[in-house]
Structure 1
Amino acid sequence: MDQYRPGRRELLATAGTAVTGLVAGCATPRTDSSIEGSSSHGIDRENRADGSTYTDVYDAIIDSVTQVRVFGIEDPVTEEEGRGQGSGFVVDGEYIVTNEHVVAGGEEVDLQYINGDWTTTRLLGTDVHSDLAVLEADHVPEEATPLGLADERPVVGQEVLAIGNPLGLEGSMSEGIVSGVDRTVPAPHGGFSFSNVVQTDAAVNPGNSGGPLVDLSGNVVGIVNAGGGNNIGFAISAALARRVVPALIEDGEYEHAFMGILLRSVDRLVAEENDLDEATGVIVTETIPGEAADGVFEGADRSVRRRGEEVPVGGDVILAIDGEPIPDRHALSTHLALETSPGDTIAVEIRRGRREETVEFTLGAR
């Protein structure tokens, strides 16, 4: 994966350390808007204010951020052919990362770089479960050098910048912090969730999807994929992208590990009804017939109603995987996404009834 972490530009080396409808991309064909704005290639860079550290980061990476325009999308209301738009960025040579939902349903995808250059592309691969896609561009400007996917995981309070094309406004940037990590966010469609998601209060809007969320060294900490309003935005983590993107380039697809269970975090009510000493772990509410967990784990055999909700009783409680504590469903989701692959055999520590035991378990594929 070294090719996804090129050296930072000299400019950033001295920059210092200052400073269910969640989709933020093109879920529907783009319509005409009265909002217009000059892209950065129309700005006089020789006659401007000094700016800030944010300006330095912007200048260092903006040439590598693209506008993604998708043609051939059918309007679900009128059934007429339209187009959508989002954002993307260069990761290696001619490869461009964006969101799966940005390009989904499109027949052709064009890119426009900030210098005004246009290019056609080929779709190499998509992964709906991480909302990532990789395009191969026919043309990449010399200035559009690859952006690196961060090695270090982000922390709450870390300053970040979202760069992309909200509402089709090229080369826009917003600033914020990492508001949360290891989020599990329901996908708008499909009955599954995105794992290991980064939460930010940097403003993201329709058109930001697929664009980079970067730290102040210009490293990509996440790929923006959703905005829920009220200063809450989400990005697919660089840690997950480092696993998925190479597979999309090489094979056009990526297989996620899958246990085949339905589950719930153990809260106080679950702990009380299952005679657990602590409110920690995840309880198996059901195993999916025919999937890997079928016949290995035991789901809840009944439920009781407490404070207006159904509380599962009797299922296995997962406490740890391969020695790593699993305090809640977010930890389980993150561990599976970042540490395992289909076919791996893992040691799952469970509480079953009154005893604790370890179950050897081979993961399936989603």
Structure 2
Amino acid sequence: MDESRRRFLAAAGAGIASLAGCTAPRNGPASGGEPFVDLYESVSPAVVRLRVYDSLGVLAEGSGWLYDDDVLVTNDHVVAGAETVRAQFANGDWVRAEVLGSDPYSDLAALSVDPPNGAAGLPLLDEQPAVGTRVAAVGAPLGLEGSLTSGVVSGVNRTISSVRNFTISGAVQTDAAVNPGNSGGPLLTLDGEVAGVITQAGAENIGFAISPALTERVIPALVETGTFEHSYLGVRILPVTPLLAEANGLESARGVYVAAVPTGSPADGVLQGGTESVTVEGSPQPTGGDVIVALDGRRVDTTGQLGTYLALETSPGDTVSVTVIRDGERRTVDVTLGTRPDPR
């Protein structure tokens, strides 16, 4: 991090290096009560402000939350490059936290911590929240610990690009106004269940959180081994647009187009990448590649559905049946999945 950036963070009073966050829900209280007051009182002991240091001083700030009695969850990008991490609990106590493991592909990290009395883990929602569900983002935006913003789930099963430029599937969208420093904090239902781990803001009134399902897969592995192995199909893909569908003689614009199959990848010799291109309405379109329309018999219409299935339903070493349209014919082939290469 250059010196000018450090001066900016110091001037902000927060030492924030992360640009991630989520947007904040704006619904009022339910009739007959103040549900967000009750929610905050019940969950605030489990939510922390994180301050991350390297050899030159404050590197970043963010948020986190207790997954169980001694494990904190936050974002990978919050603790990347950390030499020391400190967590501030709702009672004001600062304690040291140790990074147990982190995963840049899901933007999740697990930390070991000794919390104060009365701080207990928050449960993860066991399914994707419904669009319209009232939620709250609790954390430390701009270093302001103990902050809550409220709103709704605006969308689910979003495919987003992480702060470190990796694709994350199945993300939860919210209108909760999230700011730098909210990264890693919980997006909570009114029942106090974690509906997602805040990762970034997309635009005004649009923010994103990592799904509870992906969090539940990744965090236990980070605690146990320090890493998480993601399934790897080994293809370069494109969405099937109307123009691409026309160029390849498809009946409808659905599925996932295989643009290329790198040599030595799990799909090498099994799936077929594009070989040529044609121009449709003035736009060059690739042709000759397989179009994936199902995995293990489950329909695949979008790149997001493909990514979500691989992330949540498979593991490296699994053999999946891939149904494709090739040269106008439908066929099914088997691919044994590899492990996604470590980007570091």
TM-score over 0.5 for the alignment?
yes
Which runs of structure 2 are paired with 1:145-294 in the superposition (5 Å)? 145-190=120-165, 192-294=166-268
TM-score, structure 2 normalization: 0.89
Query: In structure 2, what is the equivalent of residue 59 of structure 1?
Result: 41
* Mapped partners of 2:99, 2:281: distance in 1: 50
SS of alignment partner, residue 12 of structure 2: coil
Q: Take 1:151 and 1:277, find their aligned partners in 2: how far apart are those partners? A: 37
What are the within-5 Å matches in structure 2 for residues 13-52 of structure 1?
A: 30-33=9-12, 52=34
Residue 99 of structure 1 aligns with which residue?
A: 75
- Runs of at least 5 residues in structure 2 that lack an aligned partner in the other structure: 15-31
Native 8 Å contact 1:27 1:101 kept in 2: no
State the match for 2:119 in structure 1: 144
Could you list the structure 1 runs, at least 4 aligned residues long, displaced by more than 4 angstroms after superposition. 26-29
Q: In structure 1, what is the equivalent of residue 19 of structure 2?
A: none
| 8 Å Cα contact 2:262-2:268 kept in structure 1 | yes
> Take 1:34 and 1:188, find their aligned partners in 2: how far apart are those partners?
22
Which residue in the other structure is 1:76 paired with?
Answer: none
Q: Return the alpha-carbon distance in structure 2 between the equivalents of residues 146 and 30 of structure 1.
A: 30
Q: Is the 8 A contact 2:51 2:58 kept in 1?
A: no
Q: In 2 relative to 1, CA 66–260 (structure 1 residues): closer, same or farther, beyond 3 Å? A: same
Q: Residue 51 of structure 1: CA displacement? A: 6.9
Return the letter of the residue paired with 1:59: E
The answer on whether the counterparts of 1:319 and 1:351 sit within 8 Å (CA) in structure 2 is yes
Once residues 209 and 133 of structure 1 are traced to their aligned partners in structure 2, the CA distance between those partners, rounded to angstroms, is 11
User: How far, CA to CA, are the matches of 1:150 and 1:307 in structure 2?
Assistant: 46
- Partner of 1:89: helix, strand, or coil? strand
Q: Any conservation in 1 of the 2:104–2:164 contact (CA below 8 Å)?
A: no
Match of 1:332 among 306, 310, 313: 306
2-side partners of 1:348 and 1:235: how far apart? 29
CA gap 1:85/1:307 in 2 versus in 1, 3 angstroms = farther
1:256 to 1:34, Cα distance in 2 relative to 1, 3 A: closer
CA distance in 1, matches of 2:7, 2:191: 34
**Partner letter of residue 282 of structure 1?**
V
Listed as ranges, the gaps of 5+ residues in structure 1 are 1-25, 36-49, 74-79
Preserved CA contact (<8 Å) 1:27 1:102? no
Q: Closer, same or farther in 2 for the Cα pair 1:305/1:176, shift >3 Å?
A: farther
Aligned 8 A contact 2:197 2:212 in 1: yes
Q: Quick one: which amino acid aligns to residue 11 of structure 2?
A: D
Contact 2:170 2:211 in 1 (8 A): yes
In structure 1, what residue type is equivalent to 2:98? R
CA displacement at 1:309 relative to structure 2: 4.0
155-164 or 253-262, which deviates more: 155-164
Aligned length in residues? 319
Are 2:69 and 2:119, in contact at CA under 8 Å, matched by a contact in 1?
A: no
Q: Distance in 2 between matches of 1:27 and 1:220?
A: 32
RMSD over aligned Cα, in angstroms? 1.9
How much has 1:268 moved relative to structure 2? 1.2
Contact 1:257 1:342 in 2 (8 A): yes
Deviations 1:222-260, CA, capped at 9 Å, x for gaps: 000101221111111110000000000001000000111
Does the CA-based 8 Å contact 2:163-2:200 persist in structure 1? no
Cα 1:155–1:308 change in 2 (3 A) is farther
Q: Secondary structure at the match of 1:175?
A: strand
> Relative to 1, partners in 2 of residues 1:28 and 1:348: Cα closer, same or farther, differing over 3 Å?
farther
Distance 1:59 1:68, change over 3 A: same
| Alignment counterpart, residue 64 of structure 2, candidates 80, 88, 95 | 88
Aligned-partner residue type, residue 186 of structure 1: S
For residues 210 and 95 of structure 2, the distance between their equivalents in structure 1, rounded to whole angstroms, comes to 26
- The answer as to whether partners of 1:29 and 1:83 remain within 8 angstroms in 2 is no
DSSP 3-state at the match of 1:275: coil
Q: TM-score of the superposition, structure 1-length normalised?
A: 0.83
